[in-house]
Amino acid sequence: MDFPHDAVPGSGADIYRLQQKCLPTYLVIDASTSMKPHESTLNRTLAQLHATISESPRVSEFAHMSLIAFSTEAHLIIEMTDLDRIEVMPEVVCNGLTNYSAAFDLVRSRIETDVDDLRAQGMAVLRPVMFLLTDGAPTDEHWHDAFRRLVDRSWNRYPHVISYGFGAANPDVLGKVATKAAFLAEAGVDQDRALLEALGSLLNSLVASSRAGEMQIPRHAPGFTEQPVSSEYLTVSAEYMD
């Protein structure tokens, strides 16, 4: 595996300091009222995800993670961190509307802060990735504008976005809020099961990414069918940011 490095002036020769690669990962979860019946499953699955990643140092050191829950407003549940530093996963409470704009705007703001912080720690920061889990259609009118700001190619920190939808999620919307892959739960798959499979797909992606040293986009998820992604975002993007 190739590692980025910084040249440090030495006596007669340069000394190279290896930089640890880091993938800023944003898990963005719909916590609106429609998710209330599945709140216990969601929190139990998040706890399992935390336990699994915490027991895999290679994954937790590579994929630093932030947890954001959104409903009428978006809330930062866990700041960007190596998950093995979190003793107990906070619980998400579900209520309110499905405000996509609030979620996208918060992620954009956090990327600005988190990338600077990770670089200040001497890490080689890869392009961020956002995993969106939602069970319904957006209730705000201007979510398109917020999403465009998030993935604007003129902003060099724009993230990869992968969406998972279940329940009443709109397949057309799922493709419009993704840049790399979008998945919709198959008919007959109950919502609790869909949550488990979506987070399992996310975990598999992070494990593969940590092994490869770069983001590995999930190509399939058990119990889900892949949806078309808006063609305007299907471009090759550098894994490292300027």
State pLDDT tens for residues 74-105.
999 999 999 989 989 999 999 999 999 999 99
Q: Residue 111: which of 22, 176, 177, 178 has the closest Cα?
A: 22
User: Which is higher by pLDDT, 19 or 193?
Assistant: 193
Q: Cβ of 126: how many Cβ atoms within 10 Å?
A: 25
**pTM of structure:** 0.90
Residue 138 has pLDDT above 60, yes or no: yes
Q: What is the CA radius of gyration of the chain?
A: 18
Q: Are strands 65-70 and 74-81 parallel, antiparallel or unpaired?
A: antiparallel
The domain total for the chain is 1
- ∠ Cα 123 126 130 (to 5°): 120
- ∠ Cα 53 239 28 (to 5°): 45
Torsion angle of C-alpha atoms 223, 106, 87, 166, degrees rounded to 10: -20
The answer to whether residue 69 sits within a structural domain is yes
Q: Cβ of 164: how many Cβ atoms within 10 Å?
A: 29
- ∠ Cα 163 169 170 (to 5°): 90
The answer to whether residue 85 sits within a structural domain is yes
The answer to whether residue 175 sits within a structural domain is yes
What is the structure's pLDDT at 84?
A: 87
The answer to whether residue 44 sits within a structural domain is yes
What is the structure's pLDDT at 2?
A: 37
Mean pLDDT of the chain: 89
Give the mean model confidence (pLDDT) for residues 107-135. 97
The answer to whether residue 162 sits within a structural domain is yes
| CB neighbour class for 236 (10 Å; exposed up to 12, middle 13-18, buried from 19) | exposed
Residue 141 has φ and ψ, to the nearest 5°, of -80, -25
- pLDDT band for position 237 (cuts 50, 70, 90): low
What is the structure's pLDDT at 119?
A: 95
Residue 5 has pLDDT above 70, yes or no: no
Residue 100 has φ and ψ, to the nearest 5°, of -65, -40
Percent of the chain with pLDDT over 70: 88
Residue 161 has pLDDT above 70, yes or no: yes
The answer to whether residue 80 sits within a structural domain is yes
The answer to whether residue 117 sits within a structural domain is yes
What is the structure's pLDDT at 48?
A: 93
Question: Helix (H, G, I), strand (E, B), or coil: what is residue 72?
Answer: coil
Q: Residue 126: which of 150, 103, 149, 160 has the closest Cα?
A: 160
The answer to whether residue 21 sits within a structural domain is no
The CATH number of residue 172's host domain is: 3.40.50.410
Q: Which domain holds residue 133?
A: 32-233
User: Which is higher by pLDDT, 45 or 11?
Assistant: 45
